[in-house]
Amino acid sequence: MKPLPPPTTHLRTRPVSAGHWRAFLAVARHLNFRAAAEELALTQSAVSRQIQALEDEVGVPLFLRHTRAVELTSAGGQLQRAVAPALERMDAAVRLVRQTAGRRSVAITTWASFASTWLIPRMEEFQRDNPGIDIRIDATDVPVDLETSDVDLALRYALPGAGSRGALRLFGEQLAVVGSPWLLKSGKPLRTPADVARFTLIEAGDAHRSQHLEWLSWRRWFDARGLDKLQPERWLYFNYAHQIVQAALSGQGLALARMPLIADALASGDLVEALPGHRIDSPLAYWLLVGPRSSQRPEIKAFCAWLKAQAQATRQAIGDVPDPDLNDVLD
């Protein structure tokens, strides 16, 4: 006997109407056509026709219809789990667009440590002076393309010399040895660079994995002072710069911290520079990049003017000398 040939299935590839999916999810929630029809403000027969049309499009039954109940098939359950969150995200996006339609807003991309230690603590002033401008901060380590995204401004941390054009230098940086006041008062005396070995030293856990982060490492600080053999009592590692600052603030050890990120904590006395004469320079700098489609909007101009004023205050606080009005190229 010859084996039977496999059944021929003609798969449809055209998109399914969003209305069909909404009817499907309503029936799947209630497991009742009448309740689904009431939710959608449709007749029960209209909902039934949409479900039938959807099943025809998909090619398999999505519900088992009993005399007094409706039950999802396995295929129906699979589609419910996939479609429900997708429609929820779409509805949320539509609500957001409706809420922001006609409102002035500034969308900023930057990395989490800079947002939490420098940008966000200063935002209250801008919001107070500009109550009609909404702010959206997208904190990510992944560079965003300002030409294709809906982001207006990028605040970046990079070496000068190659990459995007038109970036404005906000400020450079030095690294300083800092700790909490009570740690420095209660611990062993710290008078020379070698004395840091008496403390726990806080550092980025991946500081030695790239040249970019090597500039920020304690090992570089040791080598610059002829202390290449020095080892502290213990190390404490974190992934992000704001975690390092927070650990230093809470007295968990000494940090070799970026001056722009700790200038406010030093000014308030929450952190103390333990060895003021032993800062090291970093070749990295902080940059502002404005999206080409955003530069002429009044709210963008207002935010950039405010940002430049804040950068000027930071340069004065950390003793940064270079002229920030020189456009440079950045990574």
Q: What is the pTM of this model?
A: 0.69
Please check the confidence at residue 136 and state whether its pLDDT lies above 90: yes
Per-residue pLDDT tens over the stretch 171-185: 999 999 999 999 999
At the second CATH level, the architecture of 20-100 is: Orthogonal Bundle (1.10)
pLDDT at 214: 80
Q: Which CATH number fits domain 104-171+284-318: 1.20.1250.20, 3.40.190.10, 3.40.630.30, 3.30.930.10?
A: 3.40.190.10
Name 311's Cβ contacts closer than 8 Å, sequence gap at least 6. 170, 171, 286, 288, 324
User: Which SS3 state, helix, strand or coil, does residue 255 take?
Assistant: strand
d(CA 23, CA 42): 10
Could you read off the pLDDT of 201-244 as tens digits, one per residue? 999 887 666 666 788 899 999 999 999 889 898 999 998 999 99
Query: Of all residues in the chain, what percent carry a pLDDT higher than 90?
Result: 66
The yes-or-no answer to whether 20-100 and 173-282 have a common fold is no
Residue 257 sits at φ, ψ, to 5 deg, of -105, 155
What CATH architecture is 173-282? Answer: 3-Layer(aba) Sandwich (3.40)
Q: Which of 85-94, 103-112, 307-316 has the lowest mean pLDDT?
A: 85-94
Q: Please state the rounded mean pLDDT for residues 60-75.
A: 91
Domain residue ranges of the chain, discontinuous segments joined by +: 20-100, 104-171+284-318, 173-282
Do 227 and 194 form a contact (C-beta atoms < 8 A)? Answer: yes
Average pLDDT score, the chain: 87
**Residues 243, 202: Cα–Cα separation, whole Å:** 10
Question: 196 pLDDT exceeds 90?
Answer: yes
Q: Is the pLDDT of residue 94 over 50?
A: yes
